[in-house]
Amino acid sequence: MFSTHTDKQETLDLSKFPADKIRNFCIIAHIDHGKSTLADRLLEMTGAIAKTEKNKQVLDKLQVERERGITVKAQTASLFYSHQGEQYLLNLIDTPGHVDFSYEVSRSISACQGVLLIVDANQGIQAQTVANFYLAFEAQLTIIPILNKIDLKNADPKRVESQIEKVFDIPRDDCIRISAKHGTNVEMVLQAVVNRIPPPAVSSDDPFRALVFDSNFDHYRGVVANIAVFGGRVRKGDKIVSAHLGKTYEVNEIGLLRPDEHPTQRLYAGQVGYIIAGMKDVKEAQIGDTLYLQEQPVKALPGFKPAKAMVFAGMYPMDQSEYPGLRSAIERLTLNDSSVTVQKDSSLALGAGWRLGFLGLLHMEVFNQRLEQEYNASVIVTAPTVPYKAVLSSAKLIKNRRAIQKNMVYIDDQRVMMKYLFPLNEIVVDFYDLLKSLSSGYASFDYENAGYQAADLIKMDILLNGRSVEELITIVHRDRAYNTGKAMCERLKDSIPRQMFEIAVQAAIGSKIIARETIKAYRKNVLAKCYGGDITRKMKLLKRQAEGKKKMRRIGNVEVPKDAFINVLKRKDK
């Protein structure tokens, strides 16, 4: 955790920060180029957090972010900065770098007028640097290029400045060289934010209207929505309306995120903060919604394009009695992660559940982990698939397609940017990991949807002792069926513990078995090491075994650990 200064900001008069004294910006970059570290320095220098060793990546608040060392949620922090005798209110949004969370970046950009585009001075421009640059460029934001990690021995800021000039057409003189780790030149970043990013073009005299750009569900207070105020002002006690549902609410609390919630009396045009207005249902504060005053109706703001799911998987409770609890956990988590699509689904073997759409496999894993960590929910996830369109006829089948190269641009003499057309199922599961490992971490990758194309695909079943496992039914390219089936059987053999009887693991196409592995019989006696008669210790071990079993799913008479369903899809033979 981190500590914040305890100065009494309740007395803060935000009317002292008219729009021309406000700068709204986000930090964007390729993964690991140092966004969160720079955010820490900016927070420290403006006094939002204390400068201590404990305060590292403070905007990565989620347990999953701390465990994985990556940002998955955009986070907002309001900073007070004095420059040439004037006080400014800077609203910073730290965004994730991984392609699976790019929806967070596009939403954050809508609340900003400028971005800090961080580029690692050693690695140079990478795939998400380009993708994120275009998000900011298309939204016509001011882009400040920042070269980070200049303290590294191998840093080559000159080369990276040439890349920036060549690929983005930004003059090299616009670049600021910093070390976020050591704080070198970070003051220059704050000055550039004030001098180069325009203030929001809004007025407090207009009717109040605010865009909900993020929200989360608090067990006690209901929906806490993050808003960007695009006009007018709002205060505690005001009656506001949500444009989406047309329902009226009373404002219970408003304030700034510093980065913790910090209540204030009012929020004014151009400011970014949070609002709590007694919305008890997750459907009430949709991301992209517009809020306005009851007595001054306004036209709704454009909102956001829905995210386009790339990977789908079924999600089922371990036990049907857990269905209502899991439904509410999924609803609350999707409020905080609106890029997930949810549809009800059911299966004979697994009962009632949902079909969820994600932006990638990491996104799916993180969602699953957040369900467990933040909502204590344990779920079964079926094999992820990509969307297909099936034509139900015996048409002549088209030849196997491989990636088709579209273009190639040399960024400099060491780096090349290549565009390919790929079948989506070839890239979603482990292409990123494989590419990283083949290139020793040098290559980076980004993708966008190129539409549907016909392909020679077949359905493959995985059988455990002759019973098809619904979660593992896979659509594969005909030419890949044998290798994929064999690899899945081998990985299942490694993931399923031996049991008291022999288990046949088979891959089948229709009635034809194409691969087989055998798991030998074994009896695990958890009491084997318990000599003597310590009954409490024996009870503990038996209890732990029973709890372990809860994380297993019984298919026929075979116990399958729930992790097996995801592990089986990952290639271990990199």
- Sequence-distant (6+) residues with CB within 8 A of 161 are 147, 172, 175
Q: Which is nearer to ligand GTP, 172 or 181 (CB)?
A: 181
Burial (0-12, 13-18, 19+ Cβ within 10 Å), 455: middle
Give min distance, CB of 569 to ligand GTP, in A. Answer: 23
Give min distance, CB of 513 to ligand GTP, in A. Answer: 44
Among 10, 67, 151, 250, contact with ligand GTP (rule: CB under 6 A) = 151
Give min distance, CB of 148 to ligand GTP, in A. Answer: 5
Tell me the window of 24-32, 254-262, 356-364, 403-411 that interacts with ligand GTP (CB under 6 A): 24-32
Determine how many CB atoms are found less than 10 A away from the CB of residue 185. Answer: 16
Q: Which is nearer to ligand GTP, 122 or 242 (CB)?
A: 122
Residue 36 annotated as lining a ligand binding site = yes
Does 149 interact with ligand GTP (rule: CB under 6 A)?
A: yes
Please give the Cα distance from 509 to 463 (Å, whole number). 11
Give min distance, CB of 44 to ligand GTP, in A. Answer: 14
Residue 95 annotated as lining a ligand binding site = yes
Does 33 interact with ligand GTP (rule: CB under 6 A)?
A: yes
Among 113, 129, 148, 264, contact with ligand GTP (rule: CB under 6 A) = 148
Tell me the window of 31-39, 252-260, 298-306, 473-481 that interacts with ligand GTP (CB under 6 A): 31-39
Among 29, 49, 285, 463, contact with ligand GTP (rule: CB under 6 A) = 29
Residue 150 annotated as lining a ligand binding site = yes
Which tokens hold the place of 40?
């820490």
Classify residue 4 by its DSSP letter.
B
Give min distance, CB of 56 to ligand GTP, in A. Answer: 8
Residue 360 annotated as lining a ligand binding site = no
The position carrying tokens 């929020």 is 267
Residue 144 annotated as lining a ligand binding site = no
> Nearest CA to 168 among 124, 110, 112?
124
Burial (0-12, 13-18, 19+ Cβ within 10 Å), 480: middle
The position carrying tokens 């073009």 is 201
- Sequence-distant (6+) residues with CB within 8 A of 298 are 207, 208, 209, 231, 290, 292
- Sequence-distant (6+) residues with CB within 8 A of 71 are 35, 36, 57, 59, 60, 65, 94, 95, 96, 97, 101
Tell me the window of 133-141, 174-182, 259-267, 441-449 that interacts with ligand GTP (CB under 6 A): 174-182
Query: Is residue 496 within 8 Å of 519, Cβ to Cβ?
Result: yes
Please give the Cα distance from 222 to 2 (Å, whole number). 25
Q: Which is nearer to ligand GTP, 149 or 355 (CB)?
A: 149
Please tell me whether the peptide bond between 317 and the residue prior to it is cis, using omega within 30 degrees of 0.
no
Residue 264 annotated as lining a ligand binding site = no
Query: Is residue 495 within 8 Å of 561, Cβ to Cβ?
Result: yes
Total residues interacting with ligand GTP, rule: CB under 6 A: 20
Give min distance, CB of 91 to ligand GTP, in A. Answer: 18
Residue 98 annotated as lining a ligand binding site = yes
What Å distances lie between residue 177 and 92, 115, 118, 187, CA to CA? 19, 16, 10, 11
Determine how many CB atoms are found less than 10 A away from the CB of residue 252. Answer: 15
Please give the Cα distance from 427 to 335 (Å, whole number). 28
Residue 244 annotated as lining a ligand binding site = no
Among 43, 97, 202, 447, contact with ligand GTP (rule: CB under 6 A) = 97
Give min distance, CB of 362 to ligand GTP, in A. Answer: 11
Q: Which is nearer to ligand GTP, 177 or 209 (CB)?
A: 177
Residue nearest to ligand GTP (CB): 97
Q: Which is nearer to ligand GTP, 71 or 336 (CB)?
A: 71
Among 78, 102, 179, 271, contact with ligand GTP (rule: CB under 6 A) = 179
Residue 22 annotated as lining a ligand binding site = no
Give min distance, CB of 360 to ligand GTP, in A. Answer: 14
Which tokens hold the place of 179?
């070390």
Please give the Cα distance from 319 to 314 (Å, whole number). 15
> In this structure, is the dihedral angle defined by the CA atoms of residues 446, 451, 452 and 453, taken in order, positive or negative?
negative
Residue 32 annotated as lining a ligand binding site = yes
Does 36 interact with ligand GTP (rule: CB under 6 A)?
A: yes
Residues 48-67 that bind ligand GTP (CB under 6 A): 57
Q: Which is nearer to ligand GTP, 109 or 492 (CB)?
A: 109
Residue 219 annotated as lining a ligand binding site = no
Q: Which is nearer to ligand GTP, 73 or 266 (CB)?
A: 73
Among 24, 46, 49, 71, contact with ligand GTP (rule: CB under 6 A) = 71
Does 32 interact with ligand GTP (rule: CB under 6 A)?
A: yes
Residue 345 annotated as lining a ligand binding site = no
Please give the Cα distance from 331 to 342 (Å, whole number). 9
Tell me the window of 29-37, 348-356, 480-488, 559-567 that interacts with ligand GTP (CB under 6 A): 29-37
Tell me the window of 28-36, 481-489, 528-536, 556-564 that interacts with ligand GTP (CB under 6 A): 28-36
Residue 31 annotated as lining a ligand binding site = yes
Exposure string for 259-277, b = 16+ CB within 10 A, e = fewer? bebbbbebbbbbbbbbbbb
Tell me the window of 108-116, 177-185, 409-417, 465-473 that interacts with ligand GTP (CB under 6 A): 177-185
Does 31 interact with ligand GTP (rule: CB under 6 A)?
A: yes
Distance, first Cα to last Cα, the chain: 37
SS3 467: strand
Residue 94 annotated as lining a ligand binding site = yes
The strand ranges marked E within 136-247 are 142-148, 176-177, 209-218, 222-231, 233-235, 239-242
Q: Which is nearer to ligand GTP, 39 or 202 (CB)?
A: 39
Q: Contact residues for ligand GTP (CB under 6 A)?
A: 29, 31-37, 57, 70-71, 96-97, 148-149, 151-152, 179-181
Binding residues for GTP: 29-36, 94-98, 148-151
Binding residues: 29-36, 94-98, 148-151
